[in-house]
Amino acid sequence: MPTCAIDGQEVPCSTPEMGVFNSADSCYWKQTDGPPGGLPPGFDTGAPPGWKPGDGDGALYLVTCRPSGDGDVRGGIRWSATGPAGGIDVQALAQQAVERLRLEGPDIGIVPRPDGKGLVGMPVWMWNKPGPTRTGPATASASAGSVTVTATATARTVVWSMGDGATVTCTGPGTPYTPDRGKEKSPTCGHMCERTSARAPGGRYPVTATTTWDVMWSGAGQTGTITTTRQSQTSLAIGELQVLNVP
């Protein structure tokens, strides 16, 4: 959920009584037709000459601002062609910033390698090769008019669907396998297949790795969090060690 703030103090982004918070002037704007009986003669709302409610070009808004130093509430009735914040949708800008992050699914590292074959009961190592678009942090911005929203993404978890019915959740990128590890289990992100992949489609287990990203955004006095996911795929062939019994 987005949050709004005035001088660092969180305030509601909208209320039924006051309308929508406009970070450009730290006021709440609510569309209105004006007081009963109309506006008094000579009342200046900033509307173009001859404009009246219902013309379609712009609207009147009841503007309520934060209390001033003497406790008085500032505001009044104003005309605007576009509404609060010049019609800029801050949350839509946040979505644009997320798109510009170009987040990706894991850059999969896995042993046994996809071009080889593993064995039942032997460790499988999985990892996500680090990079801004793979593990974060990644930062991007989007702007409209005078408003800029900046989004920063970090990978929270990678969920590995191993194709044999098992699911493994890893909270970090995992540990790359090196030959000196031998038959050790991965200390951070691993699995062990209990049956061969012979009956799986193509004789291989399909493996899907899904990254959950937490994206924090801020701009125009508002902040929020967007959660999104990205996937990558690979596959594993798992065989069975054949033992020859010689009488």
pLDDT digits 0-9 by tens, 159-197: 999 999 999 999 999 999 999 999 999 999 999 999 999
Is 80 exceeded by the pLDDT of residue 82? no
Say whether both 31 and 106 belong to one domain.
no
Both 106 and 77 in a single domain? Answer: no
Q: Does residue 65 belong to any structural domain of this protein? A: yes
Which of the listed residues 23, 53, 87 is the one where a domain comes to its end? 87
pLDDT in the model for residue 87:
58
Stated length of the chain: 247
Q: With respect to residue 246, please indicate whether it lies within any of the assigned structural domains.
A: no
Decide which of 84 and 98 is more confident: 98
Stated pTM of the model: 0.70
Q: How far apart are CA 3 and CA 218, in angstroms?
A: 9
Looking at the structure, do residues 105 and 51 belong to the same domain, yes or no? no
Q: Is residue 247 part of a domain?
A: no
pLDDT score of 105 more than 90: yes
Residues 113, 130: Cα–Cα separation, whole Å:
18
Q: Which residues pair with 123 in a beta bridge?
A: 192
Rg of the Cα atoms in the chain: 29
Q: Are 64 and 119 within one domain?
A: no
Task: State the pLDDT at residue 115.
Answer: 92
- In this structure, the answer to whether residues 146 and 230 fall within a common structural domain is yes
**Rounded to the nearest 10 degrees, how much is the dihedral formed by the CA atoms of 184, 190, 196, 202?**
-130
Judge if 203 and 128 occupy the same domain: yes
How many domains in the chain? 2
Of the residues 87, 105, 131, the one at which a domain ends: 87
Domain that holds residue 206: 90-239
